[in-house]
Amino acid sequence: MTHKPRHRTPVVLALFACLPILVAAAPSSPTRPRVVLETVCGDIVVELHPEDAPQTVANFTKLVKQGFYDSLTFHRVVPGFVIQGGDPNSRDENPFNDGEGGPGYTIPAEIKAKHVKGALAMARKGDAVNPERASSGSQFYIALRDLPQLDGGYTVFGQVVDGWATIDSIVALAARKDIARVGSNANPGRLAMIRHAHLLAAGAKGAAGVKSAKPATSKDSTGAAAR
């Protein structure tokens, strides 16, 4: 006895009829938090990516709210590579201990995202003493170009969304002759100071409020090159 295939059109139509309801019920993606780094050279706006590194983002935002980054500097400037900051040692008068400090703890590695231009990532100690690749508790860097050689080795937790003129001004400080340096690592000290870091209000883009400033002319170069 031959069985004819059942007619399934009503079921298909019923499924399509439900799609608007399913789409409407799907939760919208949460707004990513943004942080403004107000430096003496202008503002930098970074967007944080908790979907890539939730523990790192939680720690960074906690430190921002506490004012931890206020008056710290970008103590390591390597043109064509990175600018790095977030070390409390950059507040003292010794330019050669920068890159060695932190809040007293590390963060578990959350290695996932790639180092594209503008990537915001956490610094860390080398593999020989840090095989787990745990991140520094506070030191971060910004990639000045795509850096695929760093992929798989460091935790990327955000992205620069505004303020490249400010970053360029900080990078330009590396050419000065009156700043500390170790090898290719230049340390502009307070010439690249973060005056204040703060979270943007939910939904704020930050672009309209980004301020640029001329590089400082002071010869004060407190702060130092990281190792």
Mean pLDDT across 86-91: 98
SS3 208: helix
Q: Indicate if the pLDDT at residue 110 is higher than 70.
A: yes
With left for phi above 0 and alpha for psi between -120 and 50, is residue 206 left, alpha or beta?
left
Neighbours of 2 (CB within 10 A): 3
Residue 31: predicted pLDDT: 87
Q: Which amino acid, one-letter code, is at 197? A: A
With left for phi above 0 and alpha for psi between -120 and 50, is residue 201 left, alpha or beta?
beta
Mean pLDDT across 76-94: 97
Predicted confidence band of residue 149 (pLDDT cuts 50, 70, 90): very high
Averaged pLDDT score across all residues of the chain:
84
Q: Indicate if the pLDDT at residue 163 is higher than 90.
A: yes
- Give the bridge partners for 94, in sequence order: none
Q: Rounded to whole angstroms, how far apart are CA atoms 222 and 140? A: 19
Q: Which CATH superfamily is domain 31-209 in?
A: Cyclophilin-like (2.40.100.10)
**H helices present in 26-145, as ranges:** 54-66
Residue written as token pair 């943007």: 200
Does the reported pTM lie above 0.85?
A: no
Residue written as token pair 């973060």: 194
pLDDT per residue as tens digits for the range 129-148: 999 999 999 999 999 999 99
Out of 26-30, 79-83, 132-136, least confident range? 26-30
Mean pLDDT across 9-38: 56
- Phi, psi of 13, deg, nearest 5: -65, -35
Exposed / middle / buried, residue 165 (Cβ in 10 Å: 0-12, 13-18, 19+): middle
- What's the token pair of residue 175? 């050419």
Predicted confidence band of residue 225 (pLDDT cuts 50, 70, 90): very low
SS3 86: coil
Domains of the chain by residue range: 31-209
Predicted confidence band of residue 210 (pLDDT cuts 50, 70, 90): low
